[in-house]
Structure 1
Amino acid sequence: MSAPTKTARRKRAPKPQGQWLVDGKEPLNDDERIKQEDAGMAVKQRVLDIYAKEGFDSIPAEDLAPRFKWIGLYTQRKQGMGGEHTGVKTNAELQDKYFMLRIRLDGGQTTTEGIRAIGEISRDFARDTADFSDRQNVQLHWIRIEDMPEIWDRLEKVGLDTHFGCGDVPRVILGSPVAGVAADEIIDGTDAIRRIKEEYLAGDEFSNLPRKFKSAVSGSPRLDVTHEVQDVAFVGVNHPEHGPGFDVWVGGGLSTNPMLGQRLGAWVPESEVPEVWAGVCRIFRDYGYRRLRNRARLKFLVGEWGIEKFRQVLEDDYLGRKLIDGPAPEAYEKDRDHIGVHKQADGRNYVGVKPAVGRVPGSDLIKLADIAQRHGVGRIRTTVMKELILLDVEDDQVDSLLAELDSIGLSATPSAFRRGIMACTGLEFCKLALVTTRERAIDLVGELESRLKDLDVPITIALNGCPNACARTQIADIGLKGQIVTDADGNRVEGFQVHLGGALGLGANFGRKLRGHKVTSAELTDYIERLVTNFKAQRTEGEQFREWVARADEGDLQ
């Protein structure tokens, strides 16, 4: 039989992408098969009944990964396994018999007693580790499976959980950390977040998505939830006819194929946010690409369909009505964080402090709870910049509170370097990492403060241990993507690829990647000192770092 002609080959049906409403539900890879057999909802009971009693070795591989992700558990990296083993050894060879546990804090909301409980769990079960993430969660390490029943009991008593902490599910819903209290708030999204969690996440409707689904709801004019890089985000706006509500964005995401979210052009009242959120999530469930994991995010579907088709399908097939056209949010070009002392709408104050790259030992969290309680604070919030915010502080308590927070390393007046530093977990615990990040970031801040003192403009520095951008490298002023690089002597060592001038807001972009420019970890502090010194010498009045990067000579950026 002769080979098919070019015309015949062109007419051949495209390969199925695993879209349920296009290709059917037949699993096209092992991940999809495992999720169809049991998407992780039942694995918690197996932990309680079997694994916590019989230990790590009793856990089947398909529960260990991926199903444990649905209950917030990842095996952590075996100690002493350098970056040269990443991508070479299997997951089973890299993993330890201990877990990272992700505690879900939707909207970044918890209480003083919640912080105390997390601190005590950290002290008793996690070797005093506690890392606040840029997803407003908190992560503990060194967790044993035998201790999970007690940990879950303690969390439940303070209204916290690990449900859908990881996995191909709707992850924690980001929210403004000052929702309901900020004097400049457009609209409070707290109730919408609560309803999404209670009405849609308690059951199994969204327990099997193509991949993770990231959401945000914020009514703050500060645009404080990185809405541009979420799968779906609701941003506070004032409609000229309908008043305060939310502008809807879809299709954002970073990792190895970064894309900025796009506006639907639709205004949604607060009461309808959960329904619209569920409609977007259902589109992702039904039409998301499942065959290839690296294309199984909503951003690829939005990119293929275009925003007009996406809105039409949402309205016609999932909501059964047209959405109201609405305005875009106003630009906010100042710091989006909440560091310092700020007046609340009720006349009291909220106080934002910055731990070193989000790390606070559990014993210090207990001290934080004591400090908060002594100053009449019952509510504490986390942020996408890894800050902690204490609400409802009376005027006569502010100075004392600031002094006591500073005594445990939580400053309300951090340097520009400490304020803007971000780092992922890195080689310390992550099986995907190639380089050390968190400890290096802490050391880097200390060195920069010593050498350069402080800056009078914000600057963000993000260290990521691999290409997956958990520290948001592409949208940082100085983004550093971990790699194994060759030094001047020909040795293979830890280092970073450099991205410069990334930004959100007006002129949002993914930064300038200098062709072939990489620095070793040993050169990192000298390089950033040189770069910032050049910026200080050449900047014009009021010029931001990213603006200087766009016009600077390449030699001054290396």
Structure 2
Amino acid sequence: MDSIGSRPGDAPGFTPEAPVTISDTEARAADDRPRAAVRPPRPSSKPNGQWKVDGTAPLNGNEEWKQVDNGLSVRDRIENIYSKGGFASIDPTDLHGRFRVWGLYTQRKPGIDGGRTATLSPEELEDEYFMMRVRIDGGQLTTEQLRVIAGISIDFARGTADLTDRQNVQLHWVRVEDVPEIWRRLEAVGLGTTEACGDVPRVILGSPVAGISADELIDPTPQIDEITSRFIGDESLANLPRKFKSAITGHPSQDVVHEINDVAFVAVEHPELGIGYDLWVGGGLSTTPRLAERLGVFVSPERVAEAWHGVAQIFRDYGYRRLRNKARLKFLLAEWGAEKFRQVLQDEYLGYSLPDGPAAPKPLTQGDHVGVHKQKDGLSYIGATPIVGRVSGPTLAKLADLLEAHGSTRLRTTPHQKLVFLDIPEENVEPFIAGLDELGLSARPSLIRRGTIACTGIEFCKLAIVETKAYATAAVLDLEKRLEQFELPHPISLHVNGCPNSCARIQTADIGLKGQLVTIDGEQVPGYQVHLGGGLVNADRDDAGLGRTVRGLKVAADGIADYTERVVKRFLAERDAEADETFAQWAHRADEEALQ
């Protein structure tokens, strides 16, 4: 059998002596201290598993099973064997590895507390149900597609539906027996789950207002479409060292969190070459955060797909594979630096030099698109927020009806767990907003509700230590009452994560909460470590930066509102209003006592 994911002529694959399983805890790094940049890896006498340096012989169990079968072919087994034989018929390697390539993870068995997350095996933690991730590149949906997702949620997922900060929709309680029918319904309307998870190119974030905003520089939809049509499901990219995250925006608000993606394209106007993109590489958070770097090149729209493919191939061929916790592009960039990365991209993968390019200017508006905004055609788009991304199948179905009743069939998901509704006629704006309010979505939310996101948490996630959605929701509702009489100068971003892996981007929030067991008054309870003052480039700050931690600062899981109220009030009392000081600026200059 030829090595799947390698080039013709590379080392052949092989069949391991016994099934190889993958642990869900393998992705955790030993050192979770936040840093401004990942340190270059120390020289090692052992190979790093870089295909173009060390050869393609697999150096761990994950690499073994990926070379035998990278996961794309497991769909046939799901449709023809596992859906008929049920959960017990699933091969362990498929279950804990290859299913991910099709957007499927086993979810956490109810009743297992966070203290047992690190001590139990995946088999002990998992239930016989799946989380399914619906891939939505660029976040673009129609009401027809929304109704299909809603119907799947109601029929097969106990009504669950969560908006993620990767523009996907996640469903829970999915049985393997129902997966083929779910795929049939999704694919009938142009959706799917191909490479929604796993060591593959995942969903491509795109501006939620692509093609309709009055102030966008360029519509990135053609570039997103070209990448997805050419490369998603491509065998040559289906065995990457780890996940590969992408983002493309043509909007001046830089609304796709480009600094924390493996590869990102940000629209910019070149003084001689016109409108194109600034290329960023090597961003990522998790337990060892690193912000992406500009390569300093200008990429014309017609060359975006080639440049994206070149970066993906560099990751495939030079990315570290021996240790899972070092197998992200950010570690390679830390070793090489931007100059070498650019040179390798041009010399080995593109075959031509990219022109130097300028950086995009600082955004002047917020990138979450909440509120009412004019489109280029005179209609309006309206951004609304549910609380911490939680919706439901019935809610999505009602949203489709509401949108059509007010003259539109288009909507978008966002990288901020929001929804943006397009093409609303002027006379329908206020009635539509009233309808959103009845469904629990607000187009004019409080700044606390607007800025709060949360990951899946212990309710469904096998990696989680602490509950997130319920605690964050309760905190938002409580804080809206407690802070009602105070005027916040800017949205306060509150990101709540159930474990150290930062799916909710804790290091880039004003207040980021990392789930762990904490000791308070001598008792160990579920809680969070606090990160303060992080953020990405936006209308309120000039540069991106990671939050700071205060030694010993921990918050009980049910104490989010108490702590947030305390620190926000301290900020309001001490901020330099004349300089329009932001929470992040204050948090980095404040002494530790003020942050307790």
Distance between the aligned counterparts of 2:185 and 2:434, measured in 1? Answer: 30
Does residue 1:482 correspond to 2:515, yes or no?
yes
CA distance in structure 2 between the partners assigned to 1:284 and 1:509 by the alignment: 25
Matched-pair identity in %: 57
Alpha-carbon displacement from aligned partner over 1:166-203 (angstroms, at most 9, x marks no partner)? 00000000000100110010111100000001011132
On the 8 A contact 1:464/1:481 being kept in 2, the answer is yes
TM-score with structure 1 length normalisation?
Answer: 0.97
Alpha carbons 1:181, 1:346 under 8 Å: kept: yes
1:259/1:299 contact within 8 Å kept: yes
Note closer, same or farther for the CA distance 1:510–1:156 as it changes in structure 2 (3 Å cut): same
Q: What is the one-letter code of the residue matched to 1:354?
A: T
- Aligned equivalent of 2:424, options 393, 401, 424: 393
Aligned pairs (5 A) from 1:214-363: 214-332=245-363, 334-363=365-394
Q: CA deviation at 1:13?
A: 7.8
Stretch moving more, 331-340 or 224-233: 331-340
1:529 to 565, 577, 583: 565
Q: For residue 515 of structure 2, what is the amino acid of its counterpart?
A: G
CA contact (8 A) 1:416 1:456 kept: no
Give 2:325's aligned amino acid. Answer: N
Match among 462, 487, 495 for residue 527 of structure 2: 495
Equivalent pair of 2:138/2:207 in contact (CA under 8 Å): yes
> CA deviation digits over 1:146-185, x for unaligned, max 9?
1111111110111100000100000000000100110010
SS in 2 for 1:425: coil
CA-to-aligned-CA distance 1:54-78 (integer Å, 9 cap, x gap):
1000001000011000000000000
Pairwise CA distance, 1:245: 0.4
Deviation of 1:285 after TM superposition, in Å, equals 0.1
| Structure 2 Cα separation of the partners of residues 527 and 235 of structure 1 | 36
State the Cα distance separating 1:106 from its structure 2 match: 0.1
- Distance (Å, rounded) in 2 between the aligned partners of 1:523 and 1:338: 30
Alignment partners' CA distance in 1, 2:525 and 2:44: 47
- Rounded to whole Å, the distance in 2 between the matches of 1:149 and 1:307 is 44
Give CA deviations for 1:211-269 in whole Å, capped at 9, x if unaligned. Answer: 00000010100000000010000000000001110000000000011001000100011
2:439 equivalent to 1:403: no
Equivalent runs, 1:23-422 vs 2, <5 Å: 23-332=54-363, 334-422=365-453
1:289-315: CA deviation from partner (whole Å, max 9, x where unpaired): 000000000000010001100000000
Instruction: State the match for 2:24 in structure 1.
Output: none
Name the residue aligned to 2:545. 509
Q: For 1:201 and 1:285, how far apart are their aligned partners in 2?
A: 14
1:334 CA drift (Å): 4.1
Match for 1:556: what amino acid? A
Q: Which moved more, 1:468-477 or 1:510-519?
A: 510-519
Kindly report structure 1 stretches of 4+ aligned residues shifted beyond 2 Å: none
Answer yes or no: is 1:466 the counterpart of 2:499.
Answer: yes
Q: Distance in 2 between matches of 1:13 and 1:422?
A: 39
CA contact (8 A) 2:476 2:561 kept: no
The one-letter amino acid paired with 1:458 is P
Native 8 Å contact 1:350 1:391 kept in 2: yes
Q: Which residue of structure 2 lines up, in the alignment, with residue 4 of structure 1? A: none
Contact 2:472 2:560 in 1 (8 A): no
| Matched residue type, 1:29 | N
Secondary structure in 1 aligned to 2:391?
A: coil
Question: Quick one: distance in 2 between partners of 1:521 and 1:217?
Answer: 35
Q: Distance in 1 between matches of 2:409 and 2:175?
A: 31
Structure-2 residue corresponding to 1:543: 581
1:234, 1:171 → 2: CA distance? 15
Secondary structure of the 1:360 match is strand
SS at match of 2:402: helix
**Deviation, structure 1 residue 487:** 1.7
Are residue 552 (structure 1) and residue 590 (structure 2) matched?
Answer: yes
CA contact (8 A) 2:471 2:558 kept: no
Q: What is the rounded CA distance, in whole Å, between the counterparts of 2:346 and 2:73 in structure 1?
A: 33
Amino acid at match of 1:405: L
**2:483 aligned residue:** 452
**Partner of 1:8 in structure 2?**
none
Provide Cα deviations, 1:331-390, integer angstroms capped at 9, x if missing partner.
115422100110011111111100111111110100000001111211110000111011
Normalising by structure 2, what TM-score? 0.91
What's the offset of the Cα at 1:456? 3.5
Cα separation, 2, equivalents of 1:76 and 1:37:
26
| Separation (CA, whole Å) in 1 of partners of 2:570 and 2:556 | 20
Cα drift, residue 450 of structure 1: 1.1
* 3-state SS in 2 of match to 1:258: coil
Tell me if 1:431 matches 2:462. Answer: yes
Check 1:365–1:554 CA distance in 2 against 1; reply closer, same or farther (3 A cut).
Answer: same
Determine if contact 1:227/1:234 at 8 Å carries over to the other structure.
Answer: yes
| C-alpha RMSD over aligned residues | 1.0
Paired AA for residue 85 in structure 1: R
1-side partners of 2:317 and 2:566: how far apart? 50
Q: Does 1:441 align with 2:472?
A: yes
Does the 8 Å contact 1:335/1:458 carry over to 2? no
Counterpart code for 1:446: L
- Structure 2 unmatched runs, 5+: 1-42
Q: What secondary structure sits across from 1:205 in the alignment? A: helix
Q: Is the 8 A contact 1:351 1:412 kept in 2?
A: yes
Tell me how far apart the structure 2 counterparts of residues 258 and 144 of structure 1 sit (CA, whole Å).
Answer: 35
CA separation in 1, counterparts of 2:390 and 2:202? 21
Distance 2:309 2:490 in 1: 40
More off after superposition, 165-174 vs 400-409: 400-409
Q: How many Å apart are 1:552 and its aligned residue? A: 1.6
In the alignment, structure 1 residue 18 sits paired with structure 2 residue 54: no
Paired letter, 1:513:
T
Q: CA deviation at 1:520?
A: 1.5
Shift of 1:553: 2.3
Question: How far, CA to CA, are the matches of 1:242 and 1:319 in structure 2?
Answer: 19
Q: Which amino acid aligns with 2:501?
A: N
**What is the one-letter code of the residue matched to 2:189?**
V
Instruction: State the one-letter code of the partner of 2:246.
Output: S
Structure 1: stretches of 5+ with no match in the other structure: 1-11
CA displacement at 1:396 relative to structure 2: 1.4
Query: CA separation of 1:447/1:269 partners in 2, compared to 1, >3 Å: closer, same or farther?
Result: same
